[in-house]
A and B are shown apart, each in its own frame.
Chain A
Amino acid sequence: GAVVSQHPSRVICKSGTSVKIECRSLDFQATTMFWYRQFPKQSLMLMATSNEGSKATYEQGVEKDKFLINHASLTLSTLTVTSAHPEDSSFYICSARVDSNSYNEQFFGPGTRLTVL
């Protein structure tokens, strides 16, 4: 099956710094990737849809200036949490849609756990 990787898997940073998380599709091209956020013991909430070569589409309530998304190539999307604060601590998961797949399936990365001190 299609494989999606994320880097780093864990990151701890100080309040006020910026953190970049990478999401890569390893064996397929993805014009569309998605970023989710998961709080402890809760479900995934879609933050934004990342489209290669264009601006990301953010869900209501998600600050686009806070969570910068760049989809620079067909295999890479990045999420930058700018001026991170403790309330940004969460598990961030990306997914990628297989463009040729007709079953409406997304493949998920292993997640990145962000802790802001």
Chain B
Amino acid sequence: EAGVAQSPRYKIIEKRQSVAFWCNPISGHATLYWYQQILGQGPKLLIQFQNNGVVDDSQLPKDRFSAERLKGVDSTLKIQPAKLEDSAVYLCASSLGGFGETQYFGPGTRLLVL
């Protein structure tokens, strides 16, 4: 069974530029999550989708971050414009759906904002 796919794996941009990350969850997984992991910290949930609807985006900085999952399968996360403090690893995870399900993580995209 294929795992969660993410691209790109690494990205370097200058502040005020925009960037987009892509995630393809495990086939059949209804729930998709985007996390931000800053160096030395644990992953922090940014947004959670159930199929193509948003379940929780309370910690998403909506002035600069946006995410979509139009067809209920793959998803994109965008940052526009990027700030220095956005430098982090962006992790995508998926689960079958429902409370307490194990989340399966992709390898992450490491973003460096200069």
A binds B: no
A contact residues vs B (CB 8 Å cutoff): none
B contact residues vs A (CB 8 Å cutoff): none
